[in-house]
Structure 1
C-alpha cells in the first residue's frame, strides 16, 4: 500500500479529532481490541482515501455513511472507492449513520462476523496449508 503524504496524514489526524457522534460511538467499541481481539485503527490513510475504521489483520474497512452518501453522486463515489479498495484486497463494509443509531448491536455483530470469517478462512489447516 502506498505511503500517505504529510497532507493525507494531517487530514486523517484532523478527522480523528473531529469525529461524528456515530464514529465516536463505534470507536468506543472497536478501540483497544474490544471486538473479539481485533485491532482497528480510525481515520486510517489509504491513499488517496482515508478509511473511517480499518483492521489491517482482516483487511477490512468499515465506513459510516451520512446523508451525502445517498444521492446518485455519493453512491457513485462510494462505488469507485470500494472498487479501488477491493483491487488492493481490502473488503469494505458500509453502514448508514441510522444503522449505528438504531441497530448498533447488529452493526457490531456484522463487523465481528466479517473479522471472524477472515480469520477462519486464513487460518492454517490441512486443506489450506500456509507457508
Structure 2
C-alpha cells in the first residue's frame, strides 16, 4: 500500500528531527525554549511545499542551514525562498560551517532579522494576565 503524500512528509520531518546535522543540533540548542530573546522557534516545520529548518512564526522568519549540497542548488533555493516570501516569510540562510564556527555571529544576524519583522513593543498585544490598569481603582 502506497503512503499518502502527507504521511510521507510527516515521516521525513520525523527523520530529520531524529538525525540532525551538527550545525542543526547547535542551532536548535540556541533557539529552543525561547532561548534567543524570548522568541519561539520551531524546527523542521512544513510550510507550503517545503520543510523549513527553523521558523519563528511571530516574526515570520525562516532560518535555513545549508550544507555542501546547496552549492549547486541556487535555482531550487531561489524558488523555495520565493514561495516562502509569497506566504509572508523572510528566509535567512547560513552555511553549516558558519554555525559551527561563529554561532554567536549567526545568532546576532537572526536577532536582527527578527527585530526587523516584529512590531515595536508598544504595538504588541499585551500578555495575558491581570491588568495593571488603575481604571476603576478610585484614583
TM-score > 0.5 by shorter chain = yes
2:106 is the alignment partner of 1:107? yes
> Per the alignment, do residues 86 and 104 of structure 1 end up closer, same or farther by CA in structure 2, a change over 3 Å counting?
same
Equivalent residue of 1:5, what SS?
helix
**How does the TM-score come out when normalised to structure 1?**
0.85
Cα distance between partner residues in 1 of 2:113 and 2:49: 24
In structure 1, runs of 5+ residues without a counterpart are: 126-131
Equivalent residue of 1:37, what SS?
coil
Cα distance between partner residues in 2 of 1:18 and 1:80: 26
Moved over 6 A (4+): none
2:10 is the alignment partner of 1:32? no
CA positional deviation for 1:121: 5.4
Equivalenced residue count is 120
In structure 2, runs of 5+ residues without a counterpart are: 125-139
- Root-mean-square deviation (CA, aligned residues, Å) is 1.8
Bigger Rg, structure 1 or 2: 2
Aligned to 2:116: 117
Cα distance between partner residues in 1 of 2:89 and 2:121: 14
Aligned to 1:21: 22
Alignment of 1:42-61 (within 5 A): 42-61=43-62
**How does the TM-score come out when normalised to structure 2?**
0.80
Alignment of 1:56-67 (within 5 A): 56-67=57-68
